[in-house]
Structure 1
C-alpha cells in the first residue's frame, strides 16, 4: 500500500470470505497504519553549562500547537516557551548533568512529527590564566585561554581594548613597554553560556638586562659541562646551545650523540617558582669549542638567553691558540657584503655574544637608523631574536643604487660603556636597464634584467597605452627577446611618432613580481634635432652657391669700382649668413 494522504492513516480491516460446504464464512483482521515523519529542530545539538536554562524548539512553525509535547531523557519538569509557542517551544530550567541525552519534540494527530535534539550538559569549570613575563622592548604574539573559547575581549592595564574577536584570546605586543606591565582584563565567552566571564592576569615587563638565566661552566678534564638554569613560573619547552662557530646543539633529555651528551637536572621548585636546568657535556673538547657559547631556553611566551665562556687550560698550550680564542664579546657582521636589486627588501645584521642595550645602523652619507625589537618605522624594521640574544638587524623595504656603499652597525652593551661597530659593504644594483635607440633596421627597445632565473615573459607598453608581450607582438614589430638570458628586446620597423616616444618594459621572473622600467631617451627630440641640422646645412649650401654665382657675374661684367663694391657686399652678406647658423649660447648658460 502507498499512503497518499492522512485519510489513509488509522484503523483498517482486512476481510476474507470463503464458502465451505455451501455455507459462506467471513473472517476479519484489524490493523492500523501509523506514520511518523522527522522534522528539523532549531538546533540538532546543544551544549549548555549546568545551572543554565535550556530552550528547545522547532525550526519552522506548525499549525497544531496544542498537540506539541516534549519527551525528556528523565522525568523532570519543563514548561512551554510562550514566545515560541508556534515553534513547539519548551523551556527546562536549571539543567544538570542528568539532563544530557536525547530530547524529542513531537506534534500531530494522524501523522506524528518528531524532532530529536542532542543535549550535552557540561560542568561549570573554573578557568585560570597564567601570568606572562616579557622583556622590555621585545615582541610578543601568543594565544591564551582554553582552546574551546567562543569569544574573547582583552583590555590592557590602561583600559584600552587590544583584542576582540571569536576564538582564543590573542595578545599582540609589537614592543613591550612599562605601559604593558600590570593587570590585564579578559572577558571570555564559553560554550553553553550566554553571559561573558571576566578574568584577570598579570603581565610582568622586565628589563632586558635582568639576569633570569644563570650560566655555569665546569671543567672536569677531559670533559667540560656547560649548563643554563631559568627560574620561572612557566614551563621550559626546549633548550639549545650555540658554539663559537655558530653550530646549534639541542639539549635532549637523556640523549647523547658524538662528543655531546645531555646534562641537566629535574625541575625543582622554589616557593611558587620552578627552577629549570639544562646542559651539555662536551667530551674531549677541541680548539673549535673554545670561546663564547650561547644558550637559549624557550618558554611558551619567549626565549631566554645566556652566555658562557668555555676555556680549557689544558688546550691553551701555545700562544697561537690563545690568540685565536675569543673570551670577550666582539661585535661582527653576519654578512660583511650585502648585494640586492634596487627596490627590493634589504637585510643587514650583526651579532655579539652579550646582551645589547641599543643598536643603530649608519649609512655612508651619515644617516643613522635606530632599531629596536618590536618597533617599526616608515623605512626600517628590526630583524633578529632580540637584544637579549645579542642580535641586531634591520630590514629596509627598498633602497636605491645611491644608497649603496660602506655601512656600519653600532651596538652598546650593558656591561661596558664603549660602543662597538662592524662594517658592512652594501651593493644596490639596477635589476633592469632600458635603452631606446635607433637601429639600422628601425627602432629598438632593449631591457637587460639582472637575474639568475629565466624570465617568464616580457611585456611592452607604448605611450598611448598599447600593450603586448613578446609572444604576441602586433604587425610592424618584431620580438628580439631572449628569456633565458634575461633580455627583453623589441624591433620597430617604422619610425612613427608613437614609436619614437619613451616605452615601458615589464619583465616577469619566475616566482617574483613584475619588474618595470620606462626608457629615458626621447627619440622624437633626437630626430628633430638631426632633421634641423640637415636642413640647415642644405640651406647654407644653396645660399652660398647663389652668392658665389653673383660674385662671379659681378666680377666678369661690371667696372672695377662696381666689382669691388659687389665683392664687399657679398662678403658681408656671407658672413651674416654664417653667423645666423651658429648656435648661440642661451642666457644663463642653460
Structure 2
C-alpha cells in the first residue's frame, strides 16, 4: 500500500520523542504504536504504567493476549499493539520501542487518561491559536451532567471553515434504526427533516444512519451543532457535537492545502486497503469521502461500517477500508487538517480509486500494482538482454508478456521458447527474464511482472521494456534529464599509426548504468556486446566505468570524440562526459620570411591546390583568426587570403590552417616595416684615380639600379642593376663619375620602386710619386718605398725581377726563404707612410728592377727600384734594363667572347696600345673607354697595359702586338711584345656525301655535352634529333650524338643546312650553317656505279702519268720532284701571317749582347743608359 504521508514524514526529525496525551472512555480500546519508517525491525517492546514489559516480534499476532492484541502494522509502523478494555489501572505513561537489525531503534510515549463511564465527556485541549473555536463552558458541562443516562455524547469535532464552505455532519451506521435530530447553535433539537436554512438532510446509506450538510457557511451558521440519533428499539440516543468556526476568526482566511495525485488501488472482494495522509502538526480532523460524496469524520469512538481509523496518532490520519464489496468500488478520498506551531492550519488530501484487480475473478488476491517507467534496451543482433522486477518478501509468481501479447508465468515459461528464460532469485528477491541471442523477431515491447507477498502485503511490480536495434546515426534519447558532469577536456597531438587510451574512472557513490562513445562523424555507439567500430576496442577494467583504446590507422579517427558514462547517484541521473580531440598536424613552411611595408596589401596562399579549401583559415600571431583577412577569389582552391592595410597586428608568424582529418598548417614569418623609417642616400667624395668598391644607401634594399651622371650626349650610363643593396665597383675614379647619380630602388615589403639621387664629388689629386730608397750594408739590402705623411699606408708589397710577390707586414720576419739554390733571410715592415723590405745574403737573382705597391686610403701607388749588389762580381748581372713581357703570350678564345690581352713592364709607362694582325690599333688607358673594348690593369704607373676586346671573329686570329711608351728615364723609348691570338668557332657544321647518303652533323668546341640539337633544311623544314621525318634518321649511337643521315637525298638536302645546339648548363642555343653546297650528282646514273667508274678512270690516269714520268730525262725529273714537294708542303703548312718585326731603337751608350728571344717571354730588352 502506498501512503501519501510518506513524503511529508521524511521531512521530520527522526528520533525526536514527544509525549502524546490520550483521553479514552473506560472499557474502550486504544492502539499504541511507534514510527519505524522503513527500518527492518527485529524486536518490539511495550512497557505499561505498571512497568510491565511485553516483548513481541513485528506483526506476530500469534503472540496476542486478551488484553494486548498485536497488530500487523504498516510499512512505517511495524510495532503496534492494541490495549483492550481500558480501565483505571491502565492510566499513566505507556512506552513502546523497537530495535532494527543494525541495533538502532526508537520509542514513543503515550499518556492515557481513562474516563469512567457516565462521566462528562472530556474536552479536547484547544491549541493556543484556536481562538476561533469556542470553548466548552462550565454551563455546557452542567447541562451534560443533567442529561439522561440514555444519551451518549460523542467526541467533539472541530470543523475549521471559511465563508462559502459546506460541512458534513454524520452518525455512523449501526445495526439498529435511528430517528435523526439536529440542533443548531443556540437552537433546539428538531427532527432532521425540519425546514432549516442552509441545512440539507440526506438519507441513510451503507455507512451513515444520519447525515446533514450545513452550508454554504455564513456568520450565523458558526457555533456548535449537534446531530443526534435515537434508537427506535430502546430510546437510547447518541449525539455528535460539531463546532464550526472560521480559521482565526477570519471568514476569508485560507490555509495551506496539498492535494496528492490520484492513487489507483487494485482490490478484491473481501480485501482491505489502508490509505493515510500526514501533514505538519497534530491532526485536527481525519476525513474519508466515499464514492457517494459522504464526508465522514473519523474519531476514536466512531466506527463506520468497513471504515475505521487505524492509529490515533496526533500526526497521522490513517484508515482501514475493509471487507470491500462491489458497492465500495469507485473514487474515494482521505484528507486531514493539521495544526502546528510552525505552519498553523494545513490540509493534506489524497484522492484514490478502488477498482478490481481482476474483473474476471473479483475474489482473486489483489496486488498493489507499481508500474515502473518503461526502459529501452538498445542491442545489437546476437546480444542477450536481462531484465528483472525486484521487491521484498516472498515471490508468488513471475510473468512476462512478449511483443506478440502472449503471457507466460513460472508454470509455462519453459514452453514458450528456448531464447527466453524466466527464473527467480532470493537475494535480492526478484523475477528475472533473459532474452537472447536477440534477433529481429524478438524486437518490440515486453513486460516482466513480479508478484510479491510480505506480511500479508501484496505487491505487484510491472516493468515494461522495449528492445530496439542500435542506430548510431539516431541514438536513443532518454525521457529523463541527466545532470551533466563535464570532465577535463583532453587534446592529443599524435601521428598516424599511434595507439591511445581514454577512460572514465569508476566512482564509489555512482551506480553505473551504461557507456556510450560519440565519434567525430556524429555517430553514437553503446559500449556493449557486438560493439564494432573499426580500430576501436573496449577497455574492460574494474577501475574504469568506461574506457576505449583507439589505434589511429585512418583519418576517419581524427577529430572530436566524446566518452559518456551514465549512472545514478542516490536519486539523480548522472552523465559524465569526457571530450577528447585527436589531432594529427603536419606543419610546413610557406616560404622565406615576407617583409612588407605598413599600409600595403598582403597576399598569402598555399603552393598547391587543396580539395579542403572550404576549411581554410588564416591565423594571426596571437593564435586568433586574422580579422581583416579576405578570401582571394583568384586562388580560392589554394587557400588564398588577402589582408588589406597591413599593420603591426600581423607582424609575426601567420599560419594557414586547413583540413578536416589531418590538420595542415602552413607558416610564414611576416615582418611589417614602419613607413616612418626614412631611406636616404648620402653624398659621396671620391679621389680621382682611386678604386671604389662599396655599398651606398641602406643595406636592406632588395633591388637597386645605379645610373652615372649625364654624359656629353645627355645619356646616363647604367652602372649596376641587381638584387640586394646598391653596389658601386669602379676600378679607377675619373671626373666622369662626378655629379648627380640616379638610383632606382625597392625596399623590403614593397612592390613599386622608388627614385632618389645623390651627389658624387671627385677630388682631383696631384700625381703622387713614390719615393724609393735602396740601402746596401753587406750582407743585407733594404728596399724602402714611402709616400707623404698625409697618406696612411694600409698595405704594401714588393715584386722582384722574377715576378715573385713579397708582402710587407708590420715588424714581421721569416727565415728559411728558399730562392733557387740560396737561402735568403728577409724582414719586412709597413709603417703609417712607408714600407720596407730587407733581405740578407742575396744572390744574382735579386739584381734588377723591383716594383713596390703602396696601398693608401687615397689609392694604390707604385714605385720602381734598380737593385745592384756590389759584391756580386759577375758583370753579366751588373746590368739592369726595362723589360716588356706579354702575359700570356698565347691566347685562345671563342668567336664572339671577350678576349683579354695583357703585358707589363718593370717600369712605369706613359701610353699603351695594341695592334691586331690586320693593322687595327686600339689605344687604351685607365681613363679611356670605348664601345667594344676597355683598359684592364692597375694603371700605367704600375707598368701594366691591358685590354679586353669584345666581338672578335675568326679572321682576327693571328699575331697581335702590345706597344708601350716607357716613362721616367726611359721616356724616349717604345717597346712592344707579341701575342699569338687564336679564335675558334663554337660550332661548325659538316655536310658531305657518304656512300650515296648525305651526312650532316655539328662539331662542338671542346666536345661539350649537349641537351638537344635540331636541324633546318634550306626550304625551312625543321625537326629535332628525336622526330626526324621519313627518309631521315639520327645516328645517336655514334660518337657524334647529332649525326643526321639522309638516306635518299634530294637537291634540297644538298643545299646548306642550319644546325642549332643547346649545350648543357647554358642558356639559349648556338647556331651554325654548313658552308657550301655539295657537288651536283647527275640524275639517271647510279651513284655506286659512278663512284666505281671514277675510281677506274683515276687509276688509269695515274698509270699513264707514271709511264710518262719514267720516260722523262733525269734532270727534268729532279725539277719535277722539287716542284711536287713544294706543292705538298704548301698543303701541310698552316697559313699563318709572319709576325711583324719588333720595333727596336738603338740604345744610348754601349750596345750589349741581346738575350735570345724565347717562346716563353718574348721580351724586348732595352740597354740601360749610362
The one of 947, 953, 956 aligned to 1:400: 953
Which stretch shows the higher mean deviation, 379-388 or 512-521? 512-521
1:477 aligns with 2:1032: yes
SS of the residue corresponding to residue 925 of structure 2 reads coil
Deviation of the 1:475 alpha carbon: 4.8
Pick closer, same or farther for the CA change 1:42–1:425 going to 2, 3 Å.
Answer: closer
Which of 1 and 2 has greater Rg?
A: 2
Partner of 1:402: helix, strand, or coil?
A: helix
Say which SS state the counterpart of residue 231 (structure 1) adopts: coil
Q: 1:342 to 1:487 in 2, by over 3 A?
A: farther
Of 249, 261, 270, the match for 2:806: 249
Q: Which of residues 765, 787, 792 in structure 2 aligns to 1:206?
A: 765
In the alignment, does 2:928 pair up with 1:363? Answer: no
Given that 1:139 and 1:175 are in contact with CA atoms closer than 8 Å, whether structure 2 keeps it comes out as: yes
Q: Report what 1:411 is aligned to.
A: 964
Q: In structure 1, what is the Cα distance between the partners aligned to 2:708 and 2:1061? A: 49
Cα offset for 1:518?
Answer: 0.6
Residues 156 and 503 of structure 1: CA distance in aligned 2, closer, same or farther (over 3 Å): closer
1:381 aligns with 2:900: no
CA distance in 2 between counterparts of 1:403 and 1:164 reads 31
Q: Secondary structure at the match of 1:451?
A: helix
Q: Report how far residue 516 of structure 1 moved.
A: 2.6
Q: Any idea what SS the aligned residue of 1:500 has? A: coil
Q: What CA distance in whole angstroms lies between the structure 2 residues aligned with 1:118 and 1:341?
A: 50
What is the CA RMSD across the aligned residues, in angstroms? 5.2
Find the aligned partners of 1:152 and 1:506 in 2 and give their Cα distance.
35
* Residue 395 (structure 1) shift: 1.7
One of 877, 883, 898 as aligned partner of 1:321? 877
Query: Could you say if the C-alpha distance between residues 228 and 42 of structure 1 is closer, same or farther in structure 2, counting changes exceeding 3 Å?
Result: closer
| CA distance in structure 2 between the aligned counterparts of 1:152 and 1:382, rounded to whole angstroms | 24
Q: CA-to-partner distance for each residue in 1:453-478, whole Å, 9 max, x for gaps?
A: 55565443334252313x66555333
Is 1:466 the counterpart of 2:1019? The answer is no
Q: Establish whether residue 421 from structure 1 lines up as the match of residue 976 from structure 2.
A: yes
Who is 1:224 aligned against? 781
In structure 1, the partner of 2:1072 is: 517
Query: Residues 155 and 393 of structure 1: is their aligned pair in 2 closer, same or farther, counting only changes over 3 Å?
Result: closer
Partner of 1:346: 899
| Distance in structure 1 (CA, Å) of the matches to 2:984 and 2:777 | 54
Matched, 1:263 2:819: no
User: 2: CA distance between counterparts of 1:306 and 1:180?
Assistant: 27
| CA pair 201-454 structure 1, distance change in 2 beyond 3 A | closer
Distance in 1 of aligned mates of 2:953 and 2:1029:
35
Q: Distance in 2 between matches of 1:237 and 1:182?
A: 29
> 2: CA distance between counterparts of 1:427 and 1:155?
36
- Does the Cα contact within 8 Å between 1:457 and 1:483 map onto a contact in 2? no
Contact 1:212–1:231, Cα closer than 8 Å, also in 2: no
CA distance in 2 between partners of 1:88 and 1:373 (Å):
52
Quote the Cα distance in structure 2 between the aligned partners of 1:452 and 1:286: 48
Unaligned runs of 5+ in 1: 2-40, 45-58, 62-85, 90-116, 191-195, 268-274, 535-590
Matches within 5 A, 1:88-487: 131-135=685-689, 140-143=692-695, 176-178=733-735, 203-206=762-765, 210-231=767-788, 235-257=792-814, 258=817, 259=824, 261-264=826-829, 266-267=831-832, 275=833, 277-299=834-856, 302-315=859-872, 317-322=873-878, 327-373=880-926, 375-415=928-968, 416-451=971-1006, 453=1008, 458-463=1013-1018, 464-469=1020-1025, 473=1028, 475-480=1030-1035
Q: In proportion to residue count, which structure has more helix?
A: 1
| Cα 1:154–1:519 shift into 2, 3 Å | closer
Matched residues in 1 for 2:720 and 2:866: separation? Answer: 46
CA distance in 2: counterparts of 1:241 and 1:522, whole angstroms = 61
Contact persistence 2:912–2:924 (CA under 8 A): yes
Counterparts of 1:398 and 1:294 in 2: how far apart (Å)? 35
Offset, 1:351: 0.8
Hey, what does 1:541 align to over in structure 2? Answer: none
- Asked whether the 8 Å contact 2:781–2:840 carries over to 1, the reply is yes
C-alpha deviation, 1:352, in angstroms: 0.8
CA distance in 2, matches of 1:357, 1:142: 30
Separation in structure 2 between the aligned mates of residue 448 and residue 161 of structure 1, nearest angstrom:
42
| TM-score normalised by structure 2 residue count | 0.30
- In structure 2, relative to structure 1, the CA distance for the partners of 1:308 and 1:452 (3 Å cut) is farther
Deviations 1:100-151 (A, max 9, x none): xxxxxxxxxxxxxxxxx9999x9xxxx998853222xx76444457868999
Structure 2 CA distance, aligned partners of 1:298 and 1:516?
47
Does the aligned pair in 1 maintain the 2:939–2:945 contact within 8 Å? Answer: yes
Counterpart position of 1:539: none
Task: Please say if residues 813 and 828 of structure 2, whose CA atoms lie closer than 8 Å, have aligned partners that are also in contact.
Answer: no
Shift of 1:350: 1.0
Q: Which residue of 2 aligns with 1:505?
A: 1059
Q: State the match for 1:494 in structure 2.
A: 1048
1:547-575 C-alpha deviation (Å, 9 max, x unpaired): xxxxxxxxxxxxxxxxxxxxxxxxxxxxx
- Structure 2 CA distance for aligned equivalents of residues 353 and 42 of structure 1: 57
- Note if contact 2:990-2:1001 (Cα within 8 Å) is conserved in structure 1: yes
Higher relative contact order (CA 8 A, sep 6+): 1
**Offset of residue 382 of structure 1:** 1.8
- The answer to whether the 8 Å contact 1:462/1:504 transfers is yes
Q: What's 1:82 paired with?
A: none
Distance apart, 1:329 and its partner CA: 2.2
- Label 1:442 to 1:337 Cα distance change in 2 as closer, same or farther (>3 A): same
Q: Aligned residue pairs: how many? A: 405
How far the C-alpha of 1:435 sits from its partner, in A, is 2.7
Contact 2:891–2:981 under 8 Å retained in 1: yes
Cα distance, 1:239 vs structure 2: 2.2
